[in-house]
């Protein structure tokens, strides 16, 4: 089982005194066809918690047992799905006042998810046509107590709706910096699903060096930008002064990386300093943009596609980072 989170955010641990009782949670692998429909698992959980609904408990136990085991063991980390009393422990967790506040806001903002379903249906149809081996995921929503934005287990994708309540949602300001909140918007749900699912499906875990990670991330973002018909910079969330800084200093940053042997580094701390959201990039001081590795990776892939106009985006899905770099002609 793989659990992926969309951002390097601070986890919020809600300390709750929980009671124990006998529960019967069984593992069951969900089976579904490939028709795109977002499963509102959060609503089933809400029925269980708010109404103490036995039928909802049965659905959590059988119909959504894999989602429930992932939630209990990996997202909330409150125990093992087979622990005695885990049902009451789970319900007590969700009855916490902070979590209930998140649930109320999710109910208010996400009465339906028709727009997301429509976009994802179109995108997955295009991906399936491009790659017959592409597996359309089962997507479900949950309230994750501000833990994981996106979780993935094979072709199962969970979306924590309470991580997408808007940059100005008051509770966020207590726990997150402005640079962390900038993508905690509803408009980011579809891009996040696509980025992390495509990364998982097309071998993102095989990339070790900074250069490999830069180009792989740039490739996935380039493909998503194409599928969503958005400019690459916008799809990568570079806007305003942050985008302007990258454009003005691109050559300088690229030369610095080369001169300091950073492109082949596998040092995780250095890689994260250049790939993850930050207030600024420590190597270039206050006032610099963050995620400079992502910016450069996107530019390399864009050069590759412009210099190899016979290459279709479908082929880009299966093109490795080294091939892209060697044939990009990138030279800012």
Domain layout of the chain by residue ranges: 41-199, 206-326
3-state helix, strand, coil in the chain (%, to 5): 55, 5, 40
Given a cut of 90, whether residue 75 has pLDDT beyond it is yes
Of 11, 16, 5, residue with least CA distance to 98: 16
Greatest Cα pair distance in the chain: 64
Per-residue model confidence as pLDDT tens digits over 194-238: 999 999 999 867 789 999 999 999 999 999 999 999 999 999 999
Mean pLDDT computed over 65-83: 94
Q: If you count them, how many residues does the chain have?
A: 332
Q: What is the CA angle 186-74-163, rounded to 5? A: 15
Answer for the pair 257, 330: CB distance below 8 angstroms, yes or no: no
Residues 295 and 13: their CA atoms lie apart, in Å, by 33
Per-residue model confidence as pLDDT tens digits over 27-47: 333 333 445 899 999 999 999
Phi, psi dihedrals of residue 140, rounded to the nearest 5° = -135, 160
Mean pLDDT computed over 73-90: 94
Of 2, 4, 9, 3, residue with least CA distance to 184: 9
Strands 156-160 and 138-142: parallel
Residues 311 and 302: their CA atoms lie apart, in Å, by 12
- Cβ contacts of residue 291 below 8 Å, gap of 6+? 236, 238, 274, 275, 276, 277, 278
Answer for the pair 6, 150: CB distance below 8 angstroms, yes or no: yes
Residues 105 and 101: their CA atoms lie apart, in Å, by 6
Per-residue model confidence as pLDDT tens digits over 143-178: 999 999 999 998 999 999 999 999 999 999 999 999
Question: What is the pTM (predicted TM-score) of this model?
Answer: 0.89
Residues 79 and 81: their CA atoms lie apart, in Å, by 7
């Amino acid at each position: 089982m793989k659990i992926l989170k969309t951002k390097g955010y601070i986890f919020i641990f809600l300390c709750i005194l929980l009671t124990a009782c006998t529960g019967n949670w069984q593992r069951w692998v969900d089976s579904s066809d490939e028709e795109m429909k977002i499963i509102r698992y959060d609503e089933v959980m809400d029925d269980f918690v708010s109404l103490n609904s036995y039928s909802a408990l049965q659905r959590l136990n059988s119909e959504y047992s894999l989602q429930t085991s992932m939630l209990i063991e990996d997202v909330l980390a409150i125990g093992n799905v087979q622990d005695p009393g885990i049902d009451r422990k789970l319900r007590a967790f969700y009855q916490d006042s902070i979590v209930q506040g998140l649930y109320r806001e999710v109910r208010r903002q996400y009465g339906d998810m028709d727009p997301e379903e429509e976009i994802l249906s179109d995108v997955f149809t295009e991906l399936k046509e491009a790659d017959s081996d592409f597996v359309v995921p089962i997507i479900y929503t949950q309230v994750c107590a501000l833990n994981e934005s996106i979780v993935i287990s094979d072709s199962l994708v969970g979306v924590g709706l309470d991580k997408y309540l808007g940059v100005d949602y008051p509770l966020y300001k207590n726990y997150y910096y402005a640079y962390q909140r900038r993508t905690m918007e509803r408009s980011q749900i579809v891009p996040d699903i696509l980025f992390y699912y495509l990364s998982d499906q097309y071998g993102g875990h095989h990339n070790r060096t900074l250069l490999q990670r830069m180009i792989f991330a740039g490739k996935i973002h380039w493909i998503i930008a194409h599928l969503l018909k958005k400019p690459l910079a916008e799809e990568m969330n570079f806007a305003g002064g942050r985008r302007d800084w990258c454009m003005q200093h691109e050559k300088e940053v690229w030369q610095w990386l080369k001169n300091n042997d950073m492109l082949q580094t596998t040092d995780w701390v250095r890689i994260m300093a250049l790939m993850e959201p930050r207030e600024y990039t420590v190597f270039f001081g206050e006032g610099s943009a963050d995620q400079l590795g992502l910016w450069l990776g996107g530019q390399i892939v864009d050069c590759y596609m412009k210099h190899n106009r016979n290459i279709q985006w479908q082929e880009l899905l299966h093109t490795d980072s080294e091939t892209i770099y060697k044939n990009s002609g990138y030279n800012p």
